């Protein structure tokens, strides 16, 4: 089954404790993105990647890092999480830059 998987689905952590949210897709897609969803703000792009080892900032990259060492994986790293990063995070992939984006199920992160 074609899908985007994210782990964990739920995470509660404390300020400053480094964490990684994994994202993997099995569709051989070139393009991958991370978004955060906040009430009243819709989805905002954090980072995106056009290919292995090619990443770039989206609209809200501060406090986040990403890497794309393999085509299928695109982890999101929070080196020192803060409470304002409490949000619902989605990973997405697409075959082409303007194509349909396939979203993962989301990761709900709470930083206390």
Partner 1 sequence: AQSVTQLDSQVPVFEEAPVELRCNYSSSVSVYLFWYVQYPNQGLQLLLKYLSGSTLVESINGFEAEFNKSQTSFHLRKPSVHISDTAEYFCAVYTGFQKLVFGTGTRLLVSP
Contacts with partner 1 by CB under 8 A lie at: 4, 31, 33, 35, 40-45, 48, 50, 56, 58, 90, 92, 94, 97-98, 100-101, 103-106
Handedness of CA 93, 95, 97, 100 (dihedral sign): negative
From the CB of 78, what's the least distance to partner 1, in Å?
Answer: 20
Per DSSP, the three-state class of 83 is: helix
Cα R_g (the chain), whole angstroms = 13
User: Which C-beta is closer to partner 1: that of 14 or that of 68?
Assistant: 68
User: Which C-beta is closer to partner 1: that of 51 or that of 84?
Assistant: 51
Ordered DSSP codes for 4-54: EEEE-SEEEE-TT--EEEEEEESS--SEEEEEEEETTTEEEEEEEEEETTE
From the CB of 17, what's the least distance to partner 1, in Å?
Answer: 26
User: Which C-beta is closer to partner 1: that of 79 or that of 100?
Assistant: 100
From the CB of 95, what's the least distance to partner 1, in Å?
Answer: 11
């Amino acid at each position: 089954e074609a899908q985007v998987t994210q782990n964990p689905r739920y995470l509660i952590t404390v300020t400053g404790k480094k964490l990684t949210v994994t994202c993997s897709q099995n569709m051989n897609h070139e393009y991958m993105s991370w978004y955060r969803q906040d009430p009243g703000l819709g989805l905002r792009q954090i980072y995106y990647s056009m290919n292995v080892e090619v990443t770039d900032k989206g609209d809200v990259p501060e406090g986040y890092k990403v890497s794309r060492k393999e085509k299928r994986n695109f982890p999101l790293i929070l080196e020192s999480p803060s409470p304002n990063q409490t949000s619902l995070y989605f990973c997405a992939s697409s075959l082409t830059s303007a194509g349909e984006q396939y979203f993962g199920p989301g990761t709900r992160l709470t930083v206390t």
